[in-house]
């Protein structure tokens, strides 16, 4: 699915770029203008402190931040935004993959490696548009923000907002994200205690859905409610025991 197929929260979207290597900043700016012409790049900063000040004083939708910059790193800015509840979506850009786990602790939307690949940037734009199209829900304190999942021989942190649903399968729980599927050893009962109950609803004895990732719902021929999620390959059926929650929406 192409990025342009997703709606955005407003007609005027703004972004900043913070990158101490000017040629790389211009390459990113040009690529963004090509792939996402509706996005307005308001500023390009050569160091982190000015970028953080801009995020503190302006309502900026997206920030593309280099991790390694003078005065303030991209990670430090992401941490600051998380601590001060600044709602700007953060995309970190770096030549080093070893900061990925730290990045997702601060609710970073995506993590791009240099040199930039247009196809990968297009994936990031799709992810950003999906996040912007979904209204933010206030999270309750101490709820799960990132989920460790196994990808090959590596562990990565999956942003909890990018999870479409959890489905119980025998001894494991299947985690279905926007573009992937993982298995974890937690139970649905354990997850319910850790997840934000305003955002994640039990819809069946074997499934929990992220209501922010529901695209639409419809009644089946048997009268059940079927949910279609942001991951187009996944549909969930709501059991009669949980249908009342959707009647109040």
Q: Please indicate, yes or no, if residue 141 is contained in any of the structural domains.
A: no
Q: In which domain, by residue range, is 167 found?
A: 147-247
C-alpha span between 28 and 34 (Å, rounded): 10
- Say which DSSP state 227 is in: E
- Statement to judge: residues 125 and 153 lie in one domain: no
- Statement to judge: residues 76 and 166 lie in one domain: no
Which range of 97-101, 142-146, 224-228 scores highest in mean pLDDT? It is: 224-228
- Closest listed residue to residue 229, CA positions, set 207, 241, 203, 211: 211
- Say which DSSP state 98 is in: G
Work out the average pLDDT over 174-187.
Answer: 92
Number of Cβ within a 10 Å radius of residue 219: 9
Give φ, ψ of 93 to 5 degrees. -125, 125
- Statement to judge: residues 126 and 224 lie in one domain: no
- Statement to judge: residues 80 and 197 lie in one domain: no
Query: Domains in the chain: how many in total?
Result: 2
Give φ, ψ of 95 to 5 degrees. -90, -5
Q: Which residues contact 55 (CB under 8 A, 6 or more apart)?
A: 16, 63, 77, 81, 86, 88
Q: Which residues contact 160 (CB under 8 A, 6 or more apart)?
A: 144, 145, 146, 147, 195, 196
pLDDT of residue 138: 54
Which of 83, 99, 133 is the last residue in one of the domains? Answer: 133
Q: Please indicate, yes or no, if residue 102 is contained in any of the structural domains.
A: yes
Work out the average pLDDT over 240-244.
Answer: 88
Work out the average pLDDT over 112-116.
Answer: 87
Query: 3-state DSSP helix/strand/coil percent for the chain, to nearest 5?
Result: 30, 35, 35
- Statement to judge: residues 62 and 116 lie in one domain: yes
Q: Please indicate, yes or no, if residue 138 is contained in any of the structural domains.
A: no
Work out the average pLDDT over 31-46.
Answer: 97
pLDDT confidence bin for 7, thresholds 50/70/90: very low
Q: Could you tell me which residue, 214 or 108, shows the higher pLDDT? A: 214
Work out the average pLDDT over 223-246.
Answer: 89
Q: Which residues pair with 176 in a beta bridge?
A: 165, 181
Work out the average pLDDT over 160-180.
Answer: 92
Which of 74, 105, 133 is the last residue in one of the domains? Answer: 133
Which of 77, 101, 133 is the last residue in one of the domains? Answer: 133
Work out the average pLDDT over 1-7.
Answer: 43
Q: Is the pLDDT of residue 74 over 50?
A: yes
- Statement to judge: residues 16 and 121 lie in one domain: yes
Question: Strands across the sheet with 163-169, in order?
Answer: 181-184, 172-177, 163-169, 207-210, 200-204
Q: Could you tell me which residue, 59 or 95, shows the higher pLDDT? A: 59
pLDDT of residue 8: 44
The DSSP line for 181-207 is EEEES--HHHHHHHS-TTTEEEEETTE
Q: Please indicate, yes or no, if residue 207 is contained in any of the structural domains.
A: yes
CATH code at position 237? 2.40.50.1020
- Statement to judge: residues 124 and 161 lie in one domain: no
- Statement to judge: residues 116 and 17 lie in one domain: yes
């Amino acid at each position: 699915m192409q990025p342009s197929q997703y709606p955005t929260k407003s007609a005027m979207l703004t972004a900043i770029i913070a990158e101490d290597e000017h040629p790389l900043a211009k390459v990113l700016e040009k690529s963004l203008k090509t792939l996402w012409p509706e996005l307005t790049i308001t500023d390009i900063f050569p160091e982190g402190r000015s970028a953080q000040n801009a995020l503190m004083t302006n309502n900026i939708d997206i920030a593309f931040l280099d991790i390694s910059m003078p005065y303030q790193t991209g990670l430090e800015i992401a941490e600051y935004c998380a601590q001060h509840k600044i709602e700007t979506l953060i995309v970190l850009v770096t030549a080093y993959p070893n900061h990925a786990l730290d990045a997702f602790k601060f609710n970073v939307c995506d993590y791009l490696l240099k040199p930039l690949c247009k196809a990968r940037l297009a994936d990031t734009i799709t992810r950003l548009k999906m996040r912007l199209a979904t209204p933010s829900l206030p999270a309750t304190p101490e709820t799960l923000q990132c989920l460790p999942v196994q990808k090959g021989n590596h562990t990565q942190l999956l942003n909890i907002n990018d999870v479409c649903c959890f489905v119980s399968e025998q001894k494991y729980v299947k985690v279905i994200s926007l573009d992937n599927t993982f298995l974890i050893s937690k139970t649905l009962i354990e997850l319910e205690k850790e997840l934000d109950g305003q955002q994640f609803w039990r819809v069946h004895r074997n499934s929990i859905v992220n209501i922010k990732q529901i695209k639409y719902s419809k009644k089946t021929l048997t009268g059940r409610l079927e949910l279609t999620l942001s991951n187009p390959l996944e549909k969930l059926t709501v059991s009669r025991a949980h249908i009342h929650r959707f009647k109040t929406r």
